Structure 1
């Protein structure tokens, strides 16, 4: 799940899309033009999907949903899909920590001092530890730090090591760790649109054309008339 903002009409806040795996490749499945980015908006979307799935006699109970760390999105997912694992995007997690590195004035030190760079990279790598070992790993890295580097560790503990958030960014034994492939699709769609803030009709025509191509190719892959490689080249 992810949103893009560049191509939507000015009175909308985002084009929120949900992708799903077909033949091992992530493809667009749901498009939502949203005027808000709050829990109510996401709840409306999820309830509409649950209602439609019931009509189609489909059990809409995904094992895992990958998303960024948007404040409203995660509780909405957990509220409507309580049995689903919510996995935060590791790339967005790293971006957020690196933004804090810059805010604390550590950017130059990160570039020029090997020890600082290694320590911050190892801090990010604690995401690959089993959850019960993360606190020990962070404590070992934190030992002996001072000044702004110590402030980074304090931020990390307060922002990312709460009971609620730790499981979101931990990627131990997780095969798909980011939603970068979805963002890549958004970037490709933005290039096709060729301009910012398309009109509603222009955007709808773009999405209809995109889904038409994907539907045809998916059917060809499932029927054996095309390969998964063909699907990857298009998406």
Structure 2
């Protein structure tokens, strides 16, 4: 096993959304001195963000376009990251899609699209990055789940989204066991209602009461709160935590 050095490089998928967790996390990590690979379907958006964060914080940053559901696209994107930045130390799988389609209206194409992006995308990204982490004897991986996986759906998303996030949780627990001897931790962050566009667009005043009614804390979660948790889990202080699911849900599910 190699010794971990002080240079930290994080790969964040789904970093392009202007109101998303990925962009907030990227900003926090840049401020803390991390080098960043920002991945998204829209390369132009993450390239611009990477350039801005590099200029503002004196880090190395790269924006790369990727379709996480496509194996060749993932391989190409990660190869560019490996060629352009210091060795990857953390992977955060944020990219995903939601689905409000009720089960009785759900067709196979929708099911397969959501599972392909959320579950298979997490698998493809992790499989491509993990060998390097194992070879270097150090790494952090975080998958993004949802309270929907535990509650059987949510205020917005329904069965296929819940199933895809349940797959992410089980997958992360399994690879946590397999990779722990190599100095790699794998954990899951499971938010409830966060005010991002994955909730079907902006949570407007007329939509808000339906979401707030379920939340004991009486407010929506913020992308900064989720990003802070992820930042901890990919840091050196979290080395004794692996295979865990962290609920960050305002009390909507206890336990």
Q: Under a length normalisation based on structure 2, what TM-score does the superposition of the two structures give?
A: 0.28
Larger Rg: 1
- Which structure has more relative contact order (CA 8 Å, sep 6+)? It is 1
More helix by share: 1
Q: Under a length normalisation based on structure 1, what TM-score does the superposition of the two structures give?
A: 0.30
